């Protein structure tokens, strides 16, 4: 059986990616990151979903003592009702996907996996530069330079949020357990970028968000 490492946060995109990889016949190893995010909510969702999907999971714990972004600093406020445009917002964690892919590559090489799946998308997103197709392409070139046969798969990179949700619905993704909100409250806040993009996606897909 083909093996894959899934960079997994328990959010809408990475969960769709996990179910997509399963549908393509991959044995899935979820890689979760505890990188000092402002709440444990998403990590708990990720563990729950990995178990439901009968996927193995590992948690990598890392510290970024230099980080000044909103997502790893509880004292900073998550921007609310922001107009989402081309400007990189304060929730951007510098180098995050480079770090995650490097851990993913180490994991994939260790277990002789064929692929690393990442749920990056570049249409309905917060302009994070490390979610763009050219970044994925460049990282694949880096892996090739190491004479490894591992490929980064980013099946959502050209899809809108609505298209991702429609794909996930077909794959029976348990969206009710996914957590997208940047705030770790009891319920999604509804006003952060992530909540707004998710709501827009469900609306455009003509579906109700089962997590609400
Ligand atoms: Zn939110």
- The CATH number that applies at residue 69 is 3.40.50.620
* Torsion from C-alpha of 198, 202, 204, 206, nearest 10 degrees: 180
For residue 108, being part of any structural domain is answered with yes
Ligand 1 geometric centre to CA of 187 (Å): 8
Ligand 1 geometric centre to CA of 189 (Å): 4
Ligand 1 geometric centre to CA of 26 (Å): 32
Ligand 1 geometric centre to CA of 115 (Å): 31
Q: What is the pTM of this model?
A: 0.94
State percent of the chain over pLDDT 90: 73
Ligand 1 geometric centre to CA of 181 (Å): 4
Q: What is the pLDDT of residues 158-171, one digit of tens each?
A: 999 999 999 999 99
Ligand 1 geometric centre to CA of 8 (Å): 19
Nearest to 170 by CA among 132, 205, 212, 144: 205
Please determine, for residue 131, whether its predicted confidence score (pLDDT) is greater than 90: no
Ligand 1 geometric centre to CA of 61 (Å): 24
| Domain encompassing residue 80 | 2-205
* Number of separate domains in the chain: 1
For residue 212, being part of any structural domain is answered with no
Please measure the distance between the N-terminal and C-terminal CA atoms of the chain and give it in whole angstroms: 36
Q: Name the burial class of residue 158, with classes exposed (0-12), middle (13-18) and buried (19+) by CB atoms within 10 angstroms of its CB.
A: exposed
């Amino acid at each position: 059986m083909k093996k894959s490492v899934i960079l997994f946060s328990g959010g809408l995109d990475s969960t769709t990616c996990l179910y997509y990889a399963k549908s393509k016949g991959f044995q899935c190893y979820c890689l979760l990151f505890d990188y000092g995010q402002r709440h444990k909510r998403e990590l708990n969702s990720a563990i729950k979903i990995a178990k439901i999907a009968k996927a193995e999971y590992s948690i990598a714990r890392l510290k970024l003592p230099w980080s000044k972004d909103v997502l790893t600093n509880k004292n900073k406020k998550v921007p609310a009702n922001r107009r989402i445009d081309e400007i990189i917002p304060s929730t951007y964690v510098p180098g995050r996907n480079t770090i995650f892919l490097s851990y993913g590559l180490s994991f994939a090489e260790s277990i002789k996996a064929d692929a690393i799946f990442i749920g990056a998308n570049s249409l309905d997103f917060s302009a994070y530069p490390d979610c763009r197709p050219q970044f994925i392409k460049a990282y694949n070139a880096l892996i090739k330079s190491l004479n490894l046969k591992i490929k980064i798969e980013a099946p959502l990179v050209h899809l809108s949020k609505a298209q991702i949700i429609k794909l996930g619905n077909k794959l029976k993704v348990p969206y009710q357990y996914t957590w997208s909100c940047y705030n770790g409250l009891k319920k999604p806040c509804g006003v952060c970028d992530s909540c707004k993009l998710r709501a827009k996606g469900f609306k455009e897909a003509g579906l109700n968000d089962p997590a609400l």
